[in-house]
């Protein structure tokens, strides 16, 4: 049937699918009808299908399909327009040229040609990456900005398929090539993947017909994204050093999550960061950061980067302003040699301050005390320095400077200013020492000096004569010198001075020791009653000067008004504390306290009106005061009298008012007192001829002086007090601790002898050590008075006076063999004399302002008489 004039229809069918071969059987004429339809393939004479409608309805047409061709696979559907031969399960061999011959009843036969082609779909596309690895549903992530290079390969297909790349339904690459091996390949190269391509569908489509859906393969793009933003959340204007800050940094846009790192300058901060991931490609990092002073001005950088994308890091920087307490350094002026600053030099300090913000205050301290600008005192504060003009040693010490800003105060190191000066006495008082003859005293001379004193010399001064003491008597160490001094005669009592020397010079004012002959102890001081109950009490006193000898402490309890001695207590050692109990309630008592040594007893301290029925403590304070004062006057008088009378060696004394006040009759004091009492006119004389022993003492000048009211008491050693400078506000002489003295005295005889031998050949007289000679030691009563009085002045509640009863007690208690009981005194009415009271008061006032104690005593003495 190679008649080219026949119309040819081209029809395709897909392998294994159904195909349709059209054939129009509609007659041209209305009254015509189909008669027969014959299907032929190519030049085969035998029809492969016939449709015979002759003599029947179309629906009942006789059908026949040749097994040589379609067999059961074919069915002619005459009712469709056009009619079609439906062929199932198309095979490759079905392809070819078909002819359909339609016979009509009345009109010419219709011959139609159908060129049938069989389409074989291609295999499913396979996507490879550039390394020819097959990709499943996703391709490995592409980094933002990179290029996609993928290969889509499709095997088979007839005709060869079109292989096309789609990106989200739009064609991006239609260029494919067919290889001799029958595969069709499309190399996709898509540049510059961006953020918008995340999760995009990349599809390779292989198609060679539109009869069936094309084969395709989809991969979803995964894109690694660069971080877009990074922000340090709160950039404070400033931060404080050493305070902990939690600083947040947020980054967004990175996929996977950005790696955030913190940098200070170029240094990576590691341990103190915490990272959190948040939703939507966001990440957060918190740094726990404590700025330091050194961080001021540095940059804190937060860096976010996608570790999978090189050069993806972005940064946010924060210039740190760190506020901190001032850092203060103090230096002495560089031109100064700190080891060579003498009194009078000008010096300065520099205070270096490192601070942010600037300090609002700068202060200077000397040993912790703030310094103020004072030009007259030579203290000049300028910008950052301190100048001291003409430094004195009082300005020596530690210096600091302090700067304050809003962050706090910073104090510098301290710089010690050492001012070199000549030695000065460490103790700003004279020391009073009592000594028996041949008793060796150890004097300790301590001086302050810078540099410390290297050498010392000692002088003895008596009656205006100054004698250098031989250096063998003293031993020196740094800043300290000791002198062993043994008076052997009356002439050896006097003022001993100690002078230190260092590189700066010799001490200007020496350290002064008054060595006096040993005497009676001083009265107890500051006696107070405490813990008083219904039948007991506690008394505490401070011991006074021991007079140069070991002292003991006595307490007498006398019931009043009957004056019966109830209790008698003694203490060998301080502290002076007595406890009395088992007292009768309802009774009143008087307590008499005194100290005693080998030279005698001190003035008593009387505490009156102790009543054990309710609290009746110190009720008659005023009365007691008066009584005390009166008693003191009387003692003075008695002493003078006693001294005066001692030469006569009166064994028996008539008990007079004054006599009652005296203590031991054999005391020199007593005798002189008696003497003076009885002969008021001989005041000036008695000392000169006081005892035979006394006569050996070389003090004629003193004794020869005419008696004057203002003149010194004609005592053994009056000069030391006369020389005392008036500026001394506290005239109390320094005396060595009585306790220490007491210890020293224990077994004193041995000591004395030893020292005696040691002091052989000295200018001092050697100590003979006989008991009788003890009597020759006398103590200046006036001094004692003043001492006691002053002590009283501080405590009006304590009254000291002489008690007639105490005489007996003392004689009984004192074990010293040299003491002898002279008599028992009766109670004198002197205590209550109003005249003497007023007199004493006036004298005291006078005394208080005048150093001439002895003169005052004399007056009292006179008035008392």
Minimum CB separation of residue 74 from other proteins in Å reads 13
Whether residue 139 contacts residue 59, with contact meaning beta carbons closer than 8 Å, is answered with no
Residue with Cβ nearer other proteins (50 or 507): 50
Convert 633-690 into a string of H (helix), E (strand) and C (coil): HHHHHHHHHHHHHHCCCCCCCCCCHHHHHCCCCCCHHHHHHHHHHHCHHHCCCCCCCC
Stretch that binds other proteins, among 59-67, 448-456, 493-501, 580-588 (CB under 8 A): 59-67
Residue 513 interacts with other proteins (CB under 8 A)? Answer: no
Q: Which two tokens stand for residue 28?
A: 């041209």
Stretch that binds other proteins, among 41-49, 90-98, 126-134, 595-603 (CB under 8 A): 41-49
Minimum CB separation of residue 2 from other proteins in Å reads 8
Residue with Cβ nearer other proteins (112 or 204): 112
Residue with Cβ nearer other proteins (2 or 334): 2
| φ, ψ of residue 205 in degrees (nearest 5) | -115, 130
Residue with Cβ nearer other proteins (107 or 863): 107
Residue 829 interacts with other proteins (CB under 8 A)? Answer: no
Distance (Å, rounded) from C-alpha 433 to C-alpha 446? 16
Binding residue for other proteins, selected from 10, 29, 32, 62, defined by CB under 8 A: 62
Minimum CB separation of residue 6 from other proteins in Å reads 6
Query: Which residues neighbour 323 within 8 Å (Cβ) at sequence distance 6 or greater?
Result: 238, 239, 240, 241, 356, 357, 405, 406, 407
Residue 31 interacts with other proteins (CB under 8 A)? Answer: no
Minimum CB separation of residue 4 from other proteins in Å reads 9
The region that residue 777 occupies, defined by phi over 0 for left and psi between -120 and 50 for alpha, beta otherwise, is beta
| b/e per residue 659-696 (b: at least 16 CB within 10 A) | bbbbbbbbbbbbbbbbbbbeeeeebbebbeebbebbee
Whether residue 419 contacts residue 391, with contact meaning beta carbons closer than 8 Å, is answered with yes
Distance (Å, rounded) from C-alpha 225 to C-alpha 211? 41
C-alpha 703 chain-centroid distance = 68
Residue 64 interacts with other proteins (CB under 8 A)? Answer: yes
Residue 108 interacts with other proteins (CB under 8 A)? Answer: yes
Residue with Cβ nearer other proteins (49 or 262): 49
Q: Which two tokens stand for residue 362?
A: 């700068």
Stretch that binds other proteins, among 3-11, 366-374, 403-411, 478-486 (CB under 8 A): 3-11
For residue 437, CA distances in Å to 236, 462, 483, 492, 787 come to 86, 16, 16, 9, 24
Distance (Å, rounded) from C-alpha 430 to C-alpha 788? 19
Residue 3 interacts with other proteins (CB under 8 A)? Answer: yes
Minimum CB separation of residue 8 from other proteins in Å reads 12
Q: Which two tokens stand for residue 448?
A: 């302050």
| φ, ψ of residue 676 in degrees (nearest 5) | -70, -35
Query: Which residues neighbour 120 within 8 Å (Cβ) at sequence distance 6 or greater?
Result: 14, 15, 92, 156, 157, 158, 208
Residue 796 interacts with other proteins (CB under 8 A)? Answer: no
Residue with Cβ nearer other proteins (45 or 334): 45
SS3 for 194? coil
Size of site (CB under 8 A) for other proteins:
26
Reference 399, options 453, 328, 457; nearest CA is: 328
- Binding mask of the shown chain, residues 4 to 23, with x at each position contacting other proteins by CB under 8 A: -xx-----------------
Residue with Cβ nearer other proteins (111 or 762): 111
Distance (Å, rounded) from C-alpha 673 to C-alpha 633? 11
Residue 1 interacts with other proteins (CB under 8 A)? Answer: yes
Reference 338, options 378, 254, 396; nearest CA is: 396
Residue with Cβ nearer other proteins (49 or 499): 49
Residue with Cβ nearer other proteins (110 or 217): 110
Q: Which two tokens stand for residue 655?
A: 């008990």
Max CA distance (Å), the chain: 205
Minimum CB separation of residue 100 from other proteins in Å reads 12
Residue 107 interacts with other proteins (CB under 8 A)? Answer: yes
Distance (Å, rounded) from C-alpha 762 to C-alpha 751? 17
Binding residue for other proteins, selected from 12, 15, 17, 52, defined by CB under 8 A: 52
Minimum CB separation of residue 137 from other proteins in Å reads 51
Residue with Cβ nearer other proteins (30 or 131): 30
Binding residue for other proteins, selected from 111, 162, 489, 611, defined by CB under 8 A: 111
Binding residue for other proteins, selected from 31, 57, 59, 67, defined by CB under 8 A: 67
Whether residue 819 contacts residue 745, with contact meaning beta carbons closer than 8 Å, is answered with no
Residue 109 interacts with other proteins (CB under 8 A)? Answer: yes
Distance (Å, rounded) from C-alpha 819 to C-alpha 833? 31
Reference 605, options 577, 579, 633, 625; nearest CA is: 625
Minimum CB separation of residue 91 from other proteins in Å reads 19
Residue with Cβ nearer other proteins (83 or 592): 83
Residue with Cβ nearer other proteins (37 or 774): 37
Stretch that binds other proteins, among 64-72, 123-131, 424-432, 613-621 (CB under 8 A): 64-72
Residue with Cβ nearer other proteins (3 or 383): 3
Residue 45 interacts with other proteins (CB under 8 A)? Answer: yes
Handedness of CA 306, 307, 312, 317 (dihedral sign): positive
Minimum CB separation of residue 81 from other proteins in Å reads 23
Stretch that binds other proteins, among 49-57, 396-404, 468-476, 783-791 (CB under 8 A): 49-57
Minimum CB separation of residue 66 from other proteins in Å reads 8
Residue 98 interacts with other proteins (CB under 8 A)? Answer: no
Q: Which two tokens stand for residue 433?
A: 């020492």
Reference 145, options 193, 196, 195; nearest CA is: 193
Minimum CB separation of residue 106 from other proteins in Å reads 8
For the segment 463-492, give every residue that binds other proteins (CB under 8 A): none
Binding residue for other proteins, selected from 56, 68, 201, 758, defined by CB under 8 A: 68
Residue 46 interacts with other proteins (CB under 8 A)? Answer: yes
Q: Which two tokens stand for residue 445?
A: 């001379």
Chain residues that interact with other proteins, rule: CB under 8 A = 1-3, 5-6, 36, 38, 40, 45-47, 50, 52, 54, 62, 64, 66-68, 101, 103, 106-109, 111
């Amino acid at each position: 049937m190679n008649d080219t004039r026949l119309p040819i229809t081209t029809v395709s069918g897909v392998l294994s699918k159904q195909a349709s071969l059209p054939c129009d059987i509609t007659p041209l004429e209305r009254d015509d009808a189909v008669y027969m339809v014959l299907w032929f393939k190519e030049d085969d004479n035998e029809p492969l299908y016939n449709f015979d409608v002759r003599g029947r309805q179309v629906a009942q047409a006789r059908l026949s399909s040749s097994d040589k061709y379609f067999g059961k696979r074919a069915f002619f559907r005459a009712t469709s327009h056009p009619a079609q031969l439906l062929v199932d399960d198309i095979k490759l061999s079905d392809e070819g040229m078909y002819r359909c011959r339609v016979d009509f009843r009345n009109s010419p036969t219709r011959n139609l040609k159908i060129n049938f082609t069989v389409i074989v779909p291609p295999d499913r596309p396979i996507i490879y990456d550039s390394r020819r690895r097959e990709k499943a549903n996703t391709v490995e992530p592409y980094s933002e900005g990179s290029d996609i290079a993928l290969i889509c390969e499709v095997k088979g297909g007839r005709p060869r398929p079109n292989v096309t790349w789609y990106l989200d339904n739009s064609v991006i690459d239609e260029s494919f090539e067919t290889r001799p091996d029958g595969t069709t390949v499309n190399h996709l190269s898509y540049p510059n993947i961006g953020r918008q391509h995340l999760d995009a569908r990349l599809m390779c489509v292989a198609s060679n017909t539109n009869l069936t859906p094309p084969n395709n393969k989809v991969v979803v793009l995964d894109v690694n994204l660069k971080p877009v933003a990074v922000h340090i959340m709160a950039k404070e204007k400033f931060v404080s050093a050493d305070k902990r800050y939690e600083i947040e940094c947020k980054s967004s846009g990175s996929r996977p999550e950005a790696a955030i790192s913190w940098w200070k300058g170029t240094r990576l901060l590691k341990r103190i960061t915490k990272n959190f991931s948040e939703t939507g490609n966001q990440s957060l990092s918190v740094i726990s950061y404590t700025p330091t002073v050194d961080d001021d001005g540095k940059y804190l950088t937060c860096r976010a980067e996608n570790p999978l994308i090189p050069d993806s890091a972005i940064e946010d920087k924060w210039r740190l302003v760190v506020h901190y307490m001032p850092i203060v350094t103090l230096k002495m002026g560089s031109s100064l040699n700190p080891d060579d600053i003498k009194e009078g030099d000008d010096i300065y300090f520099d205070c270096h301050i490192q601070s942010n913000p600037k300090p609002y205050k700068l202060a200077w301290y000397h040993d912790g005390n703030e310094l103020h600008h004072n030009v007259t005192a030579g203290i000049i504060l300028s910008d950052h320095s301190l100048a001291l003009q003409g430094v004195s040693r009082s300005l020596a010490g530690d210096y600091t400077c302090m700067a304050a800003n809003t962050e706090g105060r910073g104090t510098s190191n301290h710089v010690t200013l050492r001012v070199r000066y000549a030695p000065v006495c460490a103790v700003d008082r004279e020391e009073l020492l009592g000594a028996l003859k041949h008793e060796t005293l150890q004097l300790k001379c301590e001086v302050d000096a810078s540099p410390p004193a290297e050498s010392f010399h000692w002088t003895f001064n008596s009656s205006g004569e100054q004698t250098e003491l031989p250096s063998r008597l003293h031993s020196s160490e740094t800043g300290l010198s000791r002198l062993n001094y043994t008076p052997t005669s009356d002439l050896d009592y006097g003022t001993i001075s100690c002078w230190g020397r260092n590189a700066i010079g010799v001490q200007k004012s020496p350290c002064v020791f008054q060595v006096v002959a040993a005497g009676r102890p001083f009265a107890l001081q500051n006696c107070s009653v405490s813990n008083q109950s219904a039948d007991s009490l506690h008394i505490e006193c401070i011991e006074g000067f021991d007079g140069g000898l070991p002292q003991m402490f006595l307490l007498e309890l006398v019931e009043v008004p009957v004056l019966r001695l109830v209790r008698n207590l003694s203490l060998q050692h301080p502290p002076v504390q007595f406890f009395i109990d088992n007292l009768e309630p309802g009774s009143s008592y008087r307590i008499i306290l005194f100290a005693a040594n080998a030279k005698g007893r001190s003035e008593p301290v009387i505490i009156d009106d102790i009543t054990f029925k309710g609290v009746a403590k110190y009720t008659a304070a005023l009365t007691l005061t008066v009584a005390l004062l009166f008693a003191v006057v009387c003692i003075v008088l008695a002493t003078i009298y006693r001294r005066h009378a001692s030469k006569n060696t009166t064994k028996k004394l008539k008990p007079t008012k004054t006599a009652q006040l005296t203590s031991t009759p054999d005391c020199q004091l007593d005798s002189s007192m008696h003497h003076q009492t009885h002969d008021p006119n001989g005041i000036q004389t008695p000392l000169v001829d006081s005892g035979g022993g006394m006569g050996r003492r070389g003090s004629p000048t003193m004794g020869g002086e005419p008696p004057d009211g203002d003149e010194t008491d004609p005592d053994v050693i009056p000069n030391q007090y006369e020389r005392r400078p008036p500026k001394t506000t506290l005239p109390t002489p320094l005396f060595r601790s009585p306790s220490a003295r007491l210890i020293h005295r224990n077994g004193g005889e041995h000591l004395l002898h030893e020292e005696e031998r040691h002091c052989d050949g000295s200018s001092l007289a050697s100590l003979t050590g006989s008991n009788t000679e003890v009597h020759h030691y006398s103590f200046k009563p006036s001094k004692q008075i003043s001492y006691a009085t002053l002590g009283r002045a501080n405590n009006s509640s304590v009254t000291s006076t002489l008690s007639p009863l105490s005489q007996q007690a003392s004689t009984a208690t004192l074990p010293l063999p040299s003491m002898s009981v002279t008599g028992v005194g009766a109670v004198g009415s002197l205590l209550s004399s109003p005249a003497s009271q007023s007199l004493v008061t006036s004298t005291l006032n006078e005394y208080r302002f005048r150093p001439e104690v002895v003169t005052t005593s004399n007056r009292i003495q006179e008035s008392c008489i």
